[in-house]
Chain A
Amino acid sequence: MKSIIKYIRREEWSPYIAGTLLGVVGILAVWLSNSLLGASGAFENLVGLAGQAIAPSLFDNMYFNYVMPPGITWGVILLVGLFFGGMLGAATSGTLKWGKKGSANSDEQWKTIFGQQTWKRWVLAFVGAIILEYAAGIAGGCTSGLAISGGMLLAPSAFLFIAGMFASGILTAYLIYRKRY
């Protein structure tokens, strides 16, 4: 029992154990809620909600009315859970960053490559997030909604997405890291 608690408190688990946990979560989502895990769709539901409140005529289109209706969906609650799950995970290993030094630019490897400036990290995180969300829209889902959820059902779309993701991810990392690749 003591060794189990000690393992839970570790900062990083074996990818096989963490992966098994997420696999079980994926099964339970289908079994209990007939739903698939996802994250990018929840951002659409939420932005539709905000958009229709702030600029109703702009957000009164086919997409927000029929394809991704705004609202507090199952996926939005899952997204809230993701937030608290990350918090719980970091809390068990004592690695929470709230109010700590380095929370604004959280990765040492990043600093080695791009420098210490926080604004650079924030600009690239912001631009990267926009690109990711748009790409997820085109592909039909993100790493969770398409790669994991589609993959576990053996949908061809998931494997096409994963192939594209790794091809351009490897190329981009190479271009950024060059000699340090």
Chain B
Amino acid sequence: MSTYVIALILGIAFGFSLNKAGLTKYHKIVNVFRLTDMAVLKFMMTTLVVSMSGLYLLRALGLVTFPAPPATYAVGNLIGGLIFGFGMALSGFCPGTCAAGSGEGKLDYLIPGLLGFFVGAAIYGLTYQQVFPIISNIANAGNVVIPDALDLSPLLTVLFFAVMSFFLFYLIDRAGLQRKKEI
């Protein structure tokens, strides 16, 4: 029971942060692909830097063990990402932001959006056997994480990622990509 309470509270905080970052708006998502407003990218990278720093630190202190990370099967991850980006630029949402946007009372998220996710989920589940085993067999490395697989120092890898992210933020601001271009 308590684990459900945790899920509900974390879900609310999750949706709240998506709303405040502006991710529940079509133009915020699409403009990151148009390279005119990089807030979504900054939001994602900040989330990654904060969470990976915290988690690798907690792991180093022996306070957490990681759940199985999403499996790496290079071709499937990449092809899935390519199709996903197409859908995202078309609709201006993704599964999580569509759920949060629905709560805001946006009917284009609530009705065709959520309905589409259920239809897509059914189609995927019913064709899984014909599609997934083939794709996931190519270049399958399993549930690996980069520092363990390459035998790198985990904390240095996180530090490297953080420094690269800050450098990226600097470049974005310097290039003036934050500016919102008139349509």
Where the two chains meet, the residues of A that have a C-beta atom closer than 8 Å to any C-beta of B are 10-13, 15-37, 39-40, 43-44, 46-48, 50-51, 58-59, 61-64, 67-68, 74-75, 77-90, 95-100, 103-110, 112-113, 118, 121-158, 160-174, 176-177, 180-181
A51 vs B36: C-alpha distance when bound (angstroms): 42
A45 vs B137: C-alpha distance when bound (angstroms): 24
Residue contact B46 to A48, C-beta cutoff 8 Å: no
Residue contact B42 to A15, C-beta cutoff 8 Å: yes
Say yes or no: is B55 at the interface (Cβ < 8 Å to chain A).
Answer: yes
Nearest CB in chain B: distance from A63 CB, A: 4
Nearest CB in chain B: distance from A118 CB, A: 8
Residue contact B141 to A51, C-beta cutoff 8 Å: no
Contact-size category for B: 35 or more
Residue contact A28 to B10, C-beta cutoff 8 Å: yes
Nearest CB in chain B: distance from A54 CB, A: 10
Nearest CB in chain A: distance from B170 CB, A: 13
Nearest CB in chain B: distance from A176 CB, A: 7
Q: Give the residue name and chain of the B residue nearest to A152 (CB).
A: B51
Residues of A within 8 A of B14 (CB): 22, 25, 37, 78, 81-82, 85, 144
Q: What string of 1s and 0s marks CB contacts (under 8 Å) between B73-113 and chain A?
A: 11011111111111111111111111111111111110111
Q: Give the residue name and chain of the A residue nearest to B25 (CB).
A: A107
Given contacts A44-B121, A86-B19, contact A30 B55 (CB under 8 A): yes
User: What are 18 A-to-B residue pairs whose CB atoms are below 8 Å?
Assistant: A18-B43, A19-B46, A27-B58, A30-B66, A30-B67, A81-B7, A107-B26, A107-B92, A122-B111, A129-B114, A131-B83, A140-B80, A144-B95, A152-B47, A155-B144, A156-B74, A172-B86, A172-B89
Nearest CB in chain B: distance from A59 CB, A: 7
Q: Which residues 51-66 in B have Cβ within 8 Å of A in the complex?
A: 51-52, 54-56, 58, 63-66
Residues of A within 8 A of B163 (CB): none
**Complex partner residue of A141 from B70, B102, B113, CB under 8 angstroms:** B70
A36 vs B66: C-alpha distance when bound (angstroms): 9
Residues of B within 8 A of A139 (CB): 76-77, 79-81, 83-84
A105 vs B108: C-alpha distance when bound (angstroms): 6
Residues of A within 8 A of B81 (CB): 135, 139, 160-165, 167-168
Q: What string of 1s and 0s marks CB contacts (under 8 Å) between B28-41 and chain A?
A: 00111111000110
Nearest CB in chain B: distance from A119 CB, A: 10
Say yes or no: is B177 at the interface (Cβ < 8 Å to chain A).
Answer: no
A67 vs B125: C-alpha distance when bound (angstroms): 9
A140 vs B90: C-alpha distance when bound (angstroms): 21
**Complex partner residue of A85 from B15, B27, B124, B154, CB under 8 angstroms:** B15
Q: Give the residue name and chain of the A residue nearest to B20 (CB).
A: A13
